Structure 1
Amino acid sequence: MKSLPTLASLLLCAALPLLAHADNSAGTCAEVTVDGYKAPDYGCLSQQMGNDTNAAKATQKNREARALSVEKRLPNKLGLATPAATSVRMGNTFGTSVKPQRP
Structure 2
Amino acid sequence: MKQWTKMAAGLGLLLAMPWAQGEEAPGCIEVTVGGYKTPDYNCLSRQMGNDPEAATAAQRAQEAMNVPVNERAPNSVGLATPAATGVRMGNTFGTSVKPQRPPVPANTSPLPK
Please give the TM-score of this superposition, normalised by the length of structure 2: 0.52
Note closer, same or farther for the CA distance 1:68–1:47 as it changes in structure 2 (3 Å cut).
Answer: same
Distance in 1 (CA, whole Å) between partners of 2:100 and 2:53 is 43
* Unmatched runs of 5 consecutive residues or more in structure 1: 1-21
Please give the TM-score of this superposition, normalised by the length of structure 1: 0.56
Length, aligned pairs only: 78
Q: Residue 7 of structure 1 aligns with which residue?
A: none
Q: Residue 23 of structure 1 aligns with which residue?
A: 24
Q: Residue 37 of structure 1 aligns with which residue?
A: 36
Higher RCO (CA-CA < 8 Å; seq separation 6+): 1
- Structure of higher CA gyration radius: 2
Query: Larger helix proportion, structure 1 or 2?
Result: 1
The runs of 4+ residues in structure 1 deviating greater than 4 Å are none
* Unmatched runs of 5 consecutive residues or more in structure 2: 1-22, 102-113
